[in-house]
Chains A and B, each alone.
Chain A
Amino acid sequence: MYNFEYHEPSSLADALSAIGSAEDGKLMAGGMTLIPTLKQRLAQPSDIVDLAKIAELKGIKREGNSVVIGAMTRHGEVATSDVVKSAIPALADLAGNIGDPQVRNRGTIGGSICNNDPAADYPSAVVALGATVITNKRRIAGEDFFTGMFETALEPGEVVTAVSFPAPEKAAYMKFRNPASRYAIVGVFVAKTSGGVRVAVTGAGACVFRQNEMEAALEKSFTPDAIKGIEVSADGLNADIHAGADYRAHLIGVMAKRAIAACG
C-alpha cells in the first residue's frame, strides 16, 4: 500500500479538523473495506483519520421505541447486545452473520453504511426498518441515505454519528451468501412496522432498493403465499461471476418468502 499520514483524534471535532486540513483525507471506521482497498493500491489517500478512539461514536442505547447504535459500534457488539436482541432480534441476527467472527470484531455499522457496498447487509435493515441516519449536521431518512453504488447522501465534511432504528412489530432478514466472501448475493429484509410493511433488497442491484409490489401484497396478507405470484424482473439487476441477473431475480422471491416465514 502507498504511505499516508495517520491521525487518531479523540473527538469528532478533532476528526473534522484533521480531515478538513488534509489534502485528500479519508475517514477510517473498522477498516474492513478500506485496508484491503489500500493494500490493492486502489486508493491513495494522503491522510487516514481513524475514528476508533472517539467515545461519542460508540455504544448502543434504547430511546423510547428506538434502538440507537453509535457509528463506531462493531458488528459483534450489535449481534450480542441484549438491547438489540430484545427490541429488534432480526438486526442482531443480521449483524451476527456479517463476514466472519474476526471481521465482526472490527467492522462497524457506520463504516458499512457509508461504504454502501451493493452486497452489504446493513443497508437493507436501515431501509426496511425505516431507520434514521444521524450525522454531525442533520438526520437523514434511511431510504434517502443510499443514493447509488458505493454512494450516499453524505456531503463533504459530514460524518455519520449514529443510526436510530425504530423497533418493528415483526422483522427478519434472509440472505443467500457468497460461499467465499459471505457477502449477500441476494439479501432480503422484511419488516412489519407501524408505518406499514417494507421489503428491502440488497446484493441484487447497484444499491439497496424496496420491492413495492411485495410490500403491497403483504399489506393485505402477511404470509409467504401472498407474494407467490409476483414475478421479479431481472432488468437492471447485477450479473457477475457469482450469479446472473435472472438468478438474482429468482432469489429475491425465495429469500423474501423465507424472511416472511421467519417473521412467524
Chain B
Amino acid sequence: MTSPVSMTVNGKAVTATVEPRTLLVQYLREHLGLTGTHVGCDTSQCGACVVHLDGKSIKSCTILAVQAAGGTVTTIEGLAKGSELHPMQAAFREHHGLQCGFCTPGMVMSAVDLAQRKSDLSEHEVREWLEGNICRCTGYHNIVKAIQAGAAAMGSAKA
C-alpha cells in the first residue's frame, strides 16, 4: 500500500515512500527528519504543526502527505538563510516571544503567513490571527509584540 510521494520542501525536491494514511507532519518529521515542526494536540487545535503549503499556512497534522504531493512546503527549518535568521525569527528573539518554545515553530510560520498579507499590523489583528495557535506558557504578550515587529521588518525588507 506504500507509494512514493514527492514534493518540494524548503526548496529541495524530496521523495519518501509512505502509506496514504501518512500525515504530512509524519512525512516531515519521521521520513525527512525535519523535527522542527511539532505535534502538540494532534486535533488541529493548537497550531504547533503549522507549515506553509504553496504559500499558505496550514496545520500539517490535518492533511495527508499524498494531498501535498507535487506541492511546495516550507517548514520552520526553511526560513533562515544559513546563519542569518528570518526577520520574524529575529523579532521573536529580540522581543523574547517564547518561553518553553514548543509552540514557537507554529507561531512563527503562522505569523509569516499573516505578515505576507499585511506588514502594518495592529495588536488586535495579530491576536485575531492567532486564533489557531495556542501557547501553553500563555506568553502571548511578547508573541504579539514580536509578530508586529517581525511583520514591519519583513515589510521594510521588501520595500
Q: Which residues does A use to contact B, with CB under 8 Å?
A: 1-6, 8, 31-32, 35-36, 38-39, 48, 50, 52, 76, 99-103, 105-106, 180-182
27 pairs across A/B with beta carbons < 8 Å?
A3-B19, A4-B20, A5-B1, A5-B20, A8-B66, A31-B64, A32-B62, A35-B23, A35-B44, A35-B62, A36-B62, A39-B42, A52-B67, A76-B56, A99-B132, A100-B131, A101-B113, A101-B114, A102-B44, A102-B47, A102-B57, A102-B58, A102-B110, A105-B56, A105-B57, A105-B58, A180-B45
By a CB distance below 8 angstroms, the chain A residues around B58 are 102, 105-106
By a CB distance below 8 angstroms, the chain B residues around A32 are 44, 62
- How far apart are B73's CB and chain A's nearest CB, in angstroms? 13
Please pick, from B1, B23, B50, the residue contacting A102 in the complex, using a CB distance under 8 A.
Answer: B50
The CA of A38 and the CA of B42, in the complex, are separated in Å by 12
Q: Is the CB of B67 within 8 A of A100?
A: no
The CA of A36 and the CA of B43, in the complex, are separated in Å by 6
The CA of A259 and the CA of B91, in the complex, are separated in Å by 40
The answer, yes or no, to whether B21 is at the interface (CB within 8 Å) is: yes
- How far apart are B137's CB and chain A's nearest CB, in angstroms? 18
Known: A52-B67, A102-B57. A6 touches B62 (CB 8 A): no
Known: A32-B44, A48-B20, A180-B45. A101 touches B57 (CB 8 A): yes
The DSSP consensus for interface residues of chain B is mixed
The CA of A38 and the CA of B20, in the complex, are separated in Å by 12
Q: Is the CB of B63 within 8 A of A35?
A: yes
By a CB distance below 8 angstroms, the chain B residues around A2 are 21
The CA of A38 and the CA of B19, in the complex, are separated in Å by 14
By a CB distance below 8 angstroms, the chain B residues around A3 are 1, 19-21
Q: Is the CB of A103 within 8 A of B59?
A: yes
Q: Is the CB of B67 within 8 A of A103?
A: no
Q: Please, how many residues of chain B have a CB less than 8 angstroms from a CB on the other chain?
A: 27
Q: Is the CB of B62 within 8 A of A31?
A: yes
Return the chain B residue nearest A104 by Cβ.
Answer: B132
Return the chain A residue nearest B133 by Cβ.
Answer: A100
Nearest first, the 7 A-B pairs at minimum CB distance are A100-B132, A6-B20, A100-B131, A105-B56, A102-B59, A1-B21, A102-B132
Please pick, from B43, B63, B66, B131, the residue contacting A101 in the complex, using a CB distance under 8 A.
Answer: B131
By a CB distance below 8 angstroms, the chain A residues around B59 are 102-103, 106
Known: A31-B62, A101-B131. A4 touches B110 (CB 8 A): no
Question: 17 more A-B contacts (CB under 8 A) besides A32-B44, A36-B44?
Answer: A3-B20, A3-B21, A31-B62, A31-B67, A35-B63, A39-B43, A48-B20, A50-B67, A76-B56, A99-B131, A99-B132, A101-B57, A102-B57, A102-B58, A102-B59, A180-B45, A181-B45
- How far apart are B128's CB and chain A's nearest CB, in angstroms? 9
Return the chain B residue nearest A96 by Cβ.
Answer: B128
| Residues 79-121 of B contacting A (Cβ, < 8 Å) | 110, 113-114
By a CB distance below 8 angstroms, the chain A residues around B110 are 101-102
Q: Is the CB of B42 within 8 A of A6?
A: no
- How far apart are A181's CB and chain B's nearest CB, in angstroms? 7
| Residues 117-159 of B contacting A (Cβ, < 8 Å) | 129, 131-133
The CA of A182 and the CA of B64, in the complex, are separated in Å by 23
